[in-house]
Amino acid sequence: MKNKNSSESVKSDISIILNLYKRPYALKQQLQAIQAQSLQPKEILLYQDGVFEGIDIPSEIKDSFDKIEISEMNQGVWARFDFARRSAQSDLVCVFDDDTIPGVDFLANCFAEMQKQEGLYGGNGVILTYPKHFPINGSSFNVGHYRPNEHTIQVDYVGHAWFFKKEWLDDLFIDTQALQDYKIAGEDVAFSLTLQRKGIKTFVPPHPLGQKTLWSSLLADTYGTEENVALHRIPQNFQIKRNMLRDALKLGFKPLIYQDKRAFLLNYKSYIGNSRLSELAFINQTWLKPMERKIRTHIKKALGFKKYADS
């Protein structure tokens, strides 16, 4: 792996799995974000999920990957985890969605939390409030880069980025065929389900407000909302997600609201508190600061500052 920052960064036994689907323009930016990590991975692997017209690995970054595997057909969201199972050479693995651009300390963040408590760590945590009605509005809430959390929070499952022990990948494909059959969904819930069977919990590491270097995703609002690319925005996938979660419940998936009400209530309290902080930050950025700038400009203009005299 070629990395111009490697001399300044700490090396680790982590394999990174990137996935090219329909966002080649994001892949270069994602690779740069991985190469800039304060905790450097041992290797960066790339799985291209399907060959589509106009979708190619940018030629200038091909040599940056330790291994590239290209599937002629789109295999769905599970294939990158199977690729990691077959190809990763490290004890720890981090798989990223193709729209996830992490802050420079995200790997270090996950690694530090893993040393405190072994678990599956991810970027966007989902906590179910009404599991049987998922994914309608109000049936779940999120923590992580969508709703920042000051401390590590236990969740039902995670998405966008997954940090875990490689040895757990075998579990993902045991007694989960009903979920694998969905192809474009279910890998996130299935991973937490299979780890539940081993007594391993799922977490979101700290995503503090104002400390985006620790965050899992910096551009989710840009890349994660694209029409006809972001799977969650395709209307027909709504029923697929509903059926998938119901099948997961039948397989024994236990949301926090069923198995640990105390953890659920603590998470909900944190979510409400951070929602208010996020709203205050939004008001500050979109209304108070622009208003403050206008007032300052008006005062300077009134005082005769040359820069503002003719504006």
Strands 43-49 and 67-71: parallel
Region 280-301: what's the mean pLDDT? Answer: 54
Distance CA 122, CA 142 (A): 12
Residue 7 confidence class, pLDDT cut points 50, 70, 90: very low
Rounded Cα gap, residues 220 and 13, in angstroms: 27
- pLDDT tens column, 71-83: 999 999 999 999 9
DSSP state of 73: S
Q: What is the mean pLDDT of the chain?
A: 87
Residue 265 CA to its chain's centroid (Å): 23
Domains of the chain: 6-259 (3.90.550.10)
Nearest to 87 by CA among 66, 110, 111: 66
pLDDT of residue 280: 46
Q: Mind listing the pLDDT tens digit for each residue in 21-72?
A: 989 999 999 999 999 999 999 999 999 999 988 889 999 999 999 999 999 9
